[in-house]
Amino acid sequence: MGQAYRVAILGATGAVGAELIDLLEERNFPISSLKLLASPRSAGQTLKFKGQTIEVAEVSESALQDVDLVLASAGGSVSKAWASTAVAAGAVVVDNSSAFRMDPQVPLIVPEVNPDAIATHNGIIANPNCTTILMNLAVWPLHQVQPVQRLIASTYQSASGAGARAMAEVKLQAQAILDGTPPPTDIFPYPLAFNLFPHNSGLNAQGYCEEEMKMVQETRKIFHAPDLRVSVTCVRVPVLRAHSEAINLEFAQPFSVEEARSILKNAPGVKLVEDWQANYFPMPIDASGCDDVLVGRIRQDLSHPCGLELWLSGDQIRKGAALNAVQIAELLIKRQMLRSVAAVAT
């Protein structure tokens, strides 16, 4: 017999919620009961888990009782409204929104990067932004060998970052454009099919959008490097699922391409993808559905003797959101930081 846990997924009907359900089953997460929670609009829907049909319930104070773990992926306002209720009832909340990421009392965790930070949690653990997670997995192993002095990133972000409805809208846009009719723009401000545009989150006084600043601030927090020089440009591209990023790293001393390649080949959560003869490197179509972040095209920066360039693609819904949250939950169990009131046969 092994320990099992009472789990709730908040935001169960969204793209990340669906992925969480799949991952809990796929990874055989020890569950004694599963609650699927969502907004009143989505309540009453039914979803499958391990062959069983579960009805989605409206999130409420009573629904968050008798729960050990809440995996939240319903947006910042929902997390702010309900996380404290869940914690007061005795649950640990792993939150995928931006609501608590920069709260100094809340650890921001990528299990392959800073697992020890989990020890400081007070009931809430934040899941980083998807682009931050993907970038950190590739940069951290190199940073451990020689600290990064400066990091410049350009992202190529798929429709999946805006949710299932955004993915559906891009398909409709593509068909409309091919048919010669105006493409719908209900989710995105502009057509994304056959197009691209700078990330449409709000801009600050310096001209950086919220998505870009998330990568800057979250990386500094995760790396415990508040003065790390980071500059980011985020772009929406007409890809359904999986983000890509071009990363430029500057070190204090030269960092050989061979050493970087060897380090990343053995780094957790990373898969090296490089076929120089075929000019074949990470692509979002290959990264979709993968747990690992695909990293390749590692090369010397021609403009700086201490610079490296690399390219990555990673599944935004999977490792960029749901998988990272489940891995945090698994880390809680491994470190005996999650209560259990039930047992399950193993």
Listed in sequence order, the residues at least 6 apart from 248 whose beta carbon sits closer than 8 Å to its beta carbon are 151, 152, 153, 301, 307, 308, 309
- The answer to whether 24 touches 70, Cβ cutoff 8 Å, is no
* C-alpha distances in Å from residue 219, one per residue of 8, 70, 213, 228, 322: 28, 24, 10, 9, 19
User: What would the 3-class secondary structure string for the chain be?
Assistant: CEEEEEEEEECCCCHHHHHHHHHHHHCCCCEEEEEEEECCCCCCCEEEECCEEEECEECCCCCCCCCCEEEECCCHHHHHHHHHHHHHCCCEEEECCCCCCCCCCCCECCCCCCHHHHHHCCCEEECCCHHHHHHHHHHHHHHHHCCEEEEEEEEEECHHHHCHHHHHHHHHHHHHHHHCCCCCCCCCCCCCCCCCEECCCCECCCCCEHHHHHHHHHHHHHHCCCCCEEEEEEEECCCCCCEEEEEEEEECCCCCHHHHHHHHHCCCCEEECCECCCCECCCHHHHCCCCCEEEEEEEECCCCCCEEEEEEEECCCHHHHHHHHHHHHHHHHHCCCCCCCEEECC
- Select which of 130, 143, 199, 234 is catalytic: 130
Is 290 among the catalytic positions? no
Structure tokens at 146: 């020689």
> How long a stretch of residues is the chain?
346
- Select which of 121, 143, 199, 243 is catalytic: 243
Is 130 among the catalytic positions? yes
Q: Which residue, 16, 72, 14, 63, is CA-closest to 318?
A: 16
| Catalytic residue IDs | 130, 243
